Structure 1
Amino acid sequence: MKMKLLKVALILTVLLFGMQLPSVEAATYDGETTVNLNIRTKPSLSGTVVKTLPRGTKVEYGTYNQSWHKVYVNNRTYYASAQYIRKLSSTSNSLTTQSTTSTGVTTANLNIRVTSHRSATIVTTLKKGTEVKYAVHNSSWAKVYLNGKTYYAAKAYIAPKLTESNVERVDGYTNRDLKLFSERNQRSKVQKVLPKNTAVVSSKYNSSWSIVYLGNETYYTPTWGITPGELDTGVEKKDGYANRDLKLFSERNQRSKVQKVLPSNTAVVSSKYNSSWSIVYLGNETYYTPTAWISTSKTPTEPPTSTEPNDGLTQGYANRTVNLFGKTHQSSPIQLVLPKYTAVSYKAYNSSWSTVHIGSKVYYTASSWLTKGKAPAAPEASPKGTVYINTPGDVLNVRSKASLDSNVVGQLKHTTAVSHYGTVNGFHKIKYNGQDAYISSAFVMTTKPSTSTGTVIILDPGHGGKDPGALNGSLYEKTIVLDVTKRVEAYLRSKYDYNVRLTRSTDVYLTLGERVAAAKSLRGDLFVSMHVNAAGSSAAKGLETFYSSQSAHSSRSRVLASNIQSNLASKMSGMSNRGVKTANYYVITYNTMPSALVELGFISSPTDLTYLRSNTSRQRMAEGVAEGIAKYVQTYY
């Protein structure tokens, strides 16, 4: 019996000494994996593998027993084989002995903790932008030294303090649309987006992130989004100026949101994007604008407002009908028109332009339009054609000059035939009581109008004069719509004997307000504005008609637009039907009558362009619009 008890005791002793008893919980150490190391849920090879740390990964660990260590990952405790974790040499907590101590700045309101765990007690919170002394603790945490003591904080929210001596700023450009962040985290809020090919100044923060400098502001962005050096775009940038109030867009579409407006005559740097659009460069920003709105020459200068009598002036005369401008470019507004053989006092301004002095006023005109000496007797001009006054139930004022501000010298009745001598500033020149006089071109037509005083239809050809509208090479929107509008007018007159009036019958410029005012003064009952569309993509195509939901006549406007679109699409079955839409365009929102705006296809579409160039197709378009108008008139009048 004693022998059996002795054997049992020996066996228990062997078993006890053979077991790997857990040691007392030790302190946390900094270590490094020596192989690709499996991290498990318990200290056993049967424990679930949570993840595998690559060789050389820095870890925090504590001793569990002879074979296993506790490993702290993402604020949780796991286990790993002890033999594959190498302890790193410890560093002193003394601020004075920290060889890797750096000065940094907090990039967020930063919690300071007693240990390197998110569950650790918070000692204090440092405000964003606070300068701190710190050293790297591991891949996630930094040691922070405050008041002679060592604490811990998330390393991601401490940035090295930058000085001119330790930062190399490099010129470069964005190789894509570049997102700028306030933190080194692509899931954080985007502060700004720089377009592709924007010039930037940056410095490397680490292997993955760079700092971008915009004025006094700094941002973070992935380094791969910036290419060092100067962008070779192969684009020729030219100096020029805005020849009108210049709208700048972020897209090549005049219906998109206007980003900025530059006043007329503002100096700009631009490059051609295509035949219709240019790119405007403002600092680091780029925008799109129609090419026709920029003149590529030096910004014009203002002329002197007055001149001393006989101050080097030459006496001469106009050798043609002379336009006088306020600037030295012919796309600027015409201030005054002098008939041929008018005597003038002038002086050379440069090799191409002269200043013309009339009283205290000074204007610009082309030097080639003036001749020195006494003017010859002006030959009697021959009429250029006959027009008819189109003012049913009313009369048309005859004025002394081609301006609505000039004196009224007489009146002409509806249907009166008048010989004219050409057009000036939207007026026809005529003879009245043996003297030169002018009548508004908006109230005349080339065929004798109806004597009917019924429904008055106002047709508005869009753009005109200095405003070409949408472009495709040498084809202008203003030319297309004037042609189609005159065809609509002729069709409505010949088939229905309707009373039709145009806001413009020649290539003149009218503001949006002037178009609305003209429709009202012409006593219109309905208003139809004609346009051609354009888009940045050649895929956009088709016909569409708009009415305004904000108009006082939105209900009838919708019927008018629907009738036009239906008949237009029927006539042009080969074109895409984009339907009836609402838009608060000025001329259909603020008009005093039911109004619609017709888009006759996209000048930027190869498919639609074929129709827009064809006289046969233009006639069919005109008939479709006219029949839609006729259907509306027959319904309501």
Structure 2
Amino acid sequence: MNETKPSWSLKLLLSSSLAISGTAIVPFQLDSSGIQSTVAEAASTYTTTANLNLRLSAATWSPVLLTIPSGSSVTYISTYGSWYKVSYGGKTGYVASQYVSVSNTSAYYKTTDRLNMRLTAASWSDVVTVIPADATVKYVSRYGSWYKVTFNGKTGYVASAYLTPTSDPVPPSDYYKTTANLNLRLSAASWSDVLTVIPAGSVVKYVSRYDSWYKVTYNGKTGYVASEYLKPTTVTTPTDTNGTGKTVVIDAGHGGNDPGAVYGSVYEKVIALDIAKRLAGVLSSTYDYNVKLTRSNDTYLSLEQRVSLNKSYKGEVFVSLHANSSVYNTAHGHEVLVPTSESYTTNPYISASRSLGSSINKEIASRISTIQNRGVKYQNVYVVGRNVSPSTLVEYGFISNSSDRSHLTSTTYRQRMAEATASGIHQFMRSYY
């Protein structure tokens, strides 16, 4: 029987296949040196097991570009027989594969320089965004010397030579400070609607994370910000202000899902908490009182919980802070609420509560004459009438009135309000205790 002998070219193809037996068949291409090599779309990085020469081509006689130290991480590009084409230190060349071992790809990388994120794995591809130096990106997959990553809600390709493995992001802080004016967006995307612009140096509360976006709350609004413009910070709470004097409990009204009075982007709960923190600072640093807050962040508390906290803190006085509102925008001014003599009131310190309220009202009126003084009023208010120490409630002005609102949204005036309230509390404490 006659056989047709295989052609010389077919023999070469078969022998080439045998030479790389055990290797999965993958697409191949000619690299810049004309050498045929396989291309990996997704593979591990490698670690050198000895000092290893990086050569210009896949041959022992080829010029040495540099010597890679033992234990170094190299980025795999492709295979040529027993040689690996890799990148290291910004250079690309060939190393003997027996002197490298597989190392796991990190889930996160840090950029070593400003880095273009491109639409595809090619240097001529469109730039999606520019990633700042020292930014953390999340690894998705690999194509040769390119890594597909996500950063600030965008996904694209970056040159792996400019990345260094890093550990998973540090567990989130409860609070962050903005390092620049920062857009708070409706969703985790750079094209999403802007809810508000957060000024540089502001403190935001962390809620959750979506890749490089953080969901945060600021001034009663919740949305997403680019995490690269945040740095962890701590919020000093009044429970940490341990003066040697008597205990004063400050109650920031509303909070959490209870915003209190609202006018546009102005929330009573935000104003109350800001004044409360300022007041705590003045009482502690100026008058050396031991100050406690019923809430130090945007948390909901029932009226019963507020009174219960005052009991547990053994407060000598209790002051609740609020802002007023009315359907009539002409209503304006500050006022102080004290307990009535009706059966509703179970607080045994009715007279002392009225003295406390009068003292605070007098100081606010004398120090901030640009806000009308509506005086001291007797009302059935739970945190005043059902409490167990001299207690009062301060309404600093009407959010619904443009003049009062300008005072309430001014950090200068809120500080003055806090200082006036602190002085009123101190005047009462000196005369009563």
Select the structure with the greater relative contact order (CA < 8 A; seq sep ≥ 6): 2
Decide which structure has the larger Cα Rg and report it. Answer: 1
TM-score of the aligned structures, taking structure 1 as reference length: 0.31
TM-score of the aligned structures, taking structure 2 as reference length: 0.45
